Chain A
Amino acid sequence: MPEPVEAWFFDGRSSQPLAVFLSLESGCLCLRTRLSGGGEGALLMPPIPVSRVAIDEPLGPTRKISIVPALPEDVPAYCEARQGAAMAALLSAMGHREGLAVRWQGSLAKALAACAGLVLLLFAAYFWGLPPLADRLARWVPEGASHALDAAVIDSLEKADLLKPSRLSRQEQARIRTGFEKLVWPAGTMDRPGIELHFYAAPRIGANAFALPGGKVVVTDEIVKLAGDTPPLLAVLGHEAGHVVHRHGLRQLAQASVIGVAVGLWLGDFSSATNGLSTLVLQNRYSREYELAADDYSIETLRRSGLSPGLLAGMLEKLAAAHGGPPAGRGGEADALERILSTHPPTAERIRRIREG
């Protein structure tokens, strides 16, 4: 028989503590008053069956034993006792077992194991869990929303005077569009993703083509001139089509949102500057994979149409030259830093990858 445990009883009606002894007799918890001399007084209330006793998790210096009220209108009462050997004996006599989380917290070794497990889990989620999740989320975005987004982006670029009406003739544009359609949708394919080419003159942007999440691809007059001929231009347009077909824009958006929320939860604050920066770094890895995937799509469509993937490599070299300086890739620290912070993998790497097949 475990010895009686010294405790304080609170009846829930006032803040008055009552000194009691707790003991277990024939499956019932007995509360007896504690007299000033240390002796045991009479029973405070009829013995309480163990089924009506709720034992709280061990938190803090005392252990709380609550008495579940028999009727819902009754006020819940409880006892509080110091943790110790006597208390532990009483609890095990009552058949109480600590919960899983409590047992895990008990030892530092287990806590450190939990720490390591957490880190591994986060790595796994980032590399393997987030892409499919973002893909799912991207599919849920209604078409109307992504079209609205595209329109908004083009609108703001036009207002900022970055996109001006194209100088290309209608026949020229139609010719490029026909070539593009033959490239991306070989005759007979019914499943056409909604990709539209939009031509603009953009002296301030220069030679460039970029795809927006909803399917619009903006093509500048300058890149048409840089390509010189249609096939090299189609190689670049195939790359942009790859972005649309694989929904890279929407997936990027979804990933940004999820990463933003996750980083915010870790840092405990949803709108800090550090949040933005770390989010940016974490997202860039995805951008690089998307660029390489778009390159692959372009190569695939070029081969399918009987054209050489070298056309894409050639255009990348021309673009790099047009935007200033030979393509980077001398290796070393500067390159590594650029790799981490930039959204595009270094051009030399992409060119090499294309030429090697």
Chain B
Amino acid sequence: MTDHSAVLPAAPQALTRTETPFAPDRHQPPQRLQFTGAGGEYFRIWIVNLLLTVVTLGIYSAWAKVRRERWFLRNTCLEDSPFDYHGQPLAILKGRAVVVLGLLVLNGIGKISPLLSVITSLALFFALPWIITRALRFRALNTSWRGLRFRFCGSVRGAVQVFVLWPMLIVFTLGLIVPYVLVKRKEYVFNNLRYGDAAFSLRLPAGKVYGIYLRASLLPLLGVVGLLAFFAMKLPAVGVVLLWASILAVLPFVLACTANLIWANAALGLHRFESDQKVGELYAIWFKNILLSLLTLGLYRPFAAVNLWRYRVERLSVLPAASLASFVAGQREEVRILGEEASDLMDVDLGI
């Protein structure tokens, strides 16, 4: 092997969690993520995707999804290296065919027999943890940075706890446990995520999450009061609309604050993160997105998606504890086994 040290920055030994206590390396500046894509570019991809999808009666949608994910990830750069997406269209097509078939059947069943529809919905609810775990594994394994793949190692048992058992308590606690369930979910996803041989970790302070939700619920509480008032005035429709509007109005606040909180408490090995989304700016983006989407009957949607993604990406920084060149691929065996699974995994479109 030829000597490469002439061109390479000095690569320190990869730090492991047990070796040194966490101390930010002051020689490593924070690395802000960048997004190099423009809305117009994505619009063209989106429209061609849509046309080909309609012409092929939806079959092309799997290839369209791959192109969309790749465009977003390859335009997202960290230290001048873009991320990448490796999903195989055929695996995605399998997953989508199952989903669409299932929806048509559910739609039909719902109209014929409400009882049957309830039974199938319950069955789906219990199958959810398994579906979610597979989707997370697929997505992680097909995302990479600098040639190393991410991995999701969550067990179905963990998913059952977080997506079935904890949510069942929501009814008993009259909804007070919702923020805590969210904390558990995020922790489940993060703590089972790996990059190369390093592991992500997240320890969210539940108190702060409750703080965010408490502040956010002030407006919807007014909405509930308004709902009751309008019910009394025999105008229930207005009351419902106002309640929905009040919930929608606090969403950007909740999303920005929780994103900042999550990244502040997350780590990858010893590297830390920082997210500095501003609530005001996110409101402005949401407002612009919604207004222009309505005015253009939905044609602005690709631009809206790019606006949102760009904001969230460019507000995220990595605080390296060591050179970002020091990651190493995970154990060869594990990577190979998971690699074989990836071709079988169905990709299910879930908004996690």
Interface of B is mostly: helix
| Distance in angstroms between the alpha carbons of A8 and B67 in the assembled complex | 23
Q: Say whether A257 contacts B108, CB under 8 Å.
A: yes
Which B43-74 residues sit within 8 Å CB-CB of chain A?
43-45, 47-52, 54-55, 67, 70-71, 74
Q: Is B326 an interface residue (CB 8 A)?
A: yes
Complex interface: stretch among A15-23, A300-308, A340-348: A15-23
Bound complex: CA of A36 vs CA of B324, how far in Å?
20
The size class of the interface chain A forms with chain B is 35 or more
CB interface residues, A 251-273, toward B, < 8 Å: 253, 256-258, 260-261, 266-268, 270
Q: Return the contact of B112 from the options A34, A118, A152, A261 (Cβ within 8 A).
A: A152
Q: In the bound complex, do residue B2 and residue A44 qualify as a contact, i.e. CB atoms below 8 Å apart?
A: yes
Tell me the complex Cα distance, A15–B148, Å: 7
Q: Contacts A57-B67, A257-B104 known; A149 to B112 CB distance under 8 Å?
A: yes
Q: What chain A residues lie within 8 Å of B112 (beta carbons)?
A: 145, 148-149, 152
Closest chain-A Cβ to B312's Cβ sits at a distance in Å of 17
Tell me, yes or no, whether A51 is within 8 Å of chain B by CB.
Answer: no
Minimal beta-carbon separation of B89 from chain A (angstroms): 12
Assess the A267–B84 pair: CB atoms within 8 A: no
Known: A14-B325, A15-B196. A261 touches B51 (CB 8 A): no
Tell me whether B48 and A80 are in contact (CB under 8 A).
no
Knowing A60-B75, A121-B51, A257-B107, say if A267 contacts B298 (CB, 8 Å). yes
With a cutoff of 8 Å between Cβ atoms, the chain B residues found around residue A57 in the complex are: 67, 70
Which of chain B's residues have a CB closer than 8 A to the CB of A17? 81, 146, 325
Report the separation of the CA atoms of residues A257 and B325 in the bound assembly, to the nearest whole angstrom.
Answer: 52
Residues of chain B lying within 8 A (CB to CB) of residue A77: 147
Nearest CB of chain B from residue A71's CB, rounded to whole Å: 12
Size of the B side of the interface (Cβ < 8 Å), in residues, is 51
* Chain B residues within an 8 Å CB radius of A35: 6-7
A62: interface (CB < 8 Å): yes
CB 8 Å contact bits of A267-302 with B (1 = contact, 0 = none): 110100000000000000000000000000000000
Alpha-carbon distance between A19 and B5 when the two chains are bound, in angstroms: 11
B196, closest chain A residue (CB): A15
CB of A168 closer than 8 Å to a CB of B: no
CB distance from B69 to the nearest CB of A (A): 10
A261 and B111 contact, CB distance less than 8 A: no
A15, A62, A114, A145: the one within 8 Å of B82 (CB): A62
Question: A33 near B7 (CB under 8 angstroms)?
Answer: yes
Does any Cβ of B come within 8 Å of A115's Cβ? yes
A101-B8 in contact (CB<8A)? no
Given known pairs A8-B81, A10-B146, A75-B329, the reply for A121 and B2 (CB within 8 Å) is no
CB <8 Å contact, A121 and B54:
yes
Which of B7, B47, B148, B326 contacts A114, CB < 8 Å? B47
Question: Chain B contacts of A266 at CB under 8 A?
Answer: 298
Which residues of A lie under 8 Å from residue B45 when comparing CB positions?
105
**A61 to B80 CA separation, bound complex (whole angstroms):** 10
- In the complex the two chains form, is B103's CB within 8 Å of A261's CB? yes
The A-B contact count (CB < 8 A) is 139
CB distance from A284 to the nearest CB of B (A): 17
Q: Check B36 for interface membership: any CB of A closer than 8 A.
A: yes
- CB–CB B113/A148 < 8 A: yes
Interface centre among B7, B84, B328 (most CB of A within 10 A): B7
A336 within 8 A of B: no
Cβ of B234 under 8 Å from chain A: no
B77 within 8 A of A: yes
Contacts of B196 in A (CB 8 A): 14-15
Q: A14-B148, A15-B147 are in contact. Are A115 and B104 (CB under 8 A)?
A: no
The residue on B at minimum CB distance from A61 is B36
Is A111 close to B, CB under 8 A?
yes
* A33/B4 in contact, CB under 8 A: yes
Query: Quick check: is A337 within 8 A (CB to CB) of the other chain?
Result: no
> CB within 8 A of A15: which of B52, B104, B327?
B327
> Binary interface profile of A, 145-180, with partner B (CB < 8 Å = 1, else 0)?
100110010000000000000000000000000000
**Complex contact A152–B113 (CB within 8 A):** yes
A10 touches B298 (CB 8 A): no
CB 8 Å contact bits of A3-40 with B (1 = contact, 0 = none): 00000101111111111000000000000011110000
Complex formed: what's the CA distance from A16 to B71 in Å? 23
A16 to B4, CA, bound (A): 11
Contacts of B336 in A (CB 8 A): 73
Mark out the residues of chain B between 109 and 149 whose CB falls within 8 Å of any chain A CB in the assembled complex.
111-113, 145-148
Query: Once the chains are docked, how many angstroms separate the CA of A105 from the CA of B38?
Result: 14
**Cα distance A256–B327 in the bound complex, in angstroms:** 53
Tell me if B100 is interfacial: C-beta within 8 Å of chain A.
yes
Bound-state CA distance A338–B55 (Å) is: 34
**Given contacts A15-B328, A59-B67, A118-B47, could you give 18 more A-B pairs where the C-beta distance is less than 8 Å?**
A12-B147, A13-B328, A14-B329, A34-B7, A41-B2, A56-B70, A59-B71, A60-B75, A61-B77, A78-B147, A105-B48, A108-B44, A117-B51, A118-B51, A121-B55, A149-B112, A253-B111, A261-B100
Instruction: Spell out B's residues near A (CB within 8 Å).
Output: 2, 4, 6-8, 11, 36-37, 40, 43-45, 47-52, 54-55, 67, 70-71, 74-75, 77, 81-82, 84, 100, 103-104, 107-108, 111-113, 145-148, 196, 298, 301, 324-329, 336
> Can you offer 14 A-B residue contacts whose CB atoms are under 8 A?
A11-B147, A14-B148, A15-B325, A44-B2, A60-B37, A61-B36, A62-B74, A75-B329, A77-B147, A108-B44, A115-B47, A257-B104, A261-B107, A267-B298
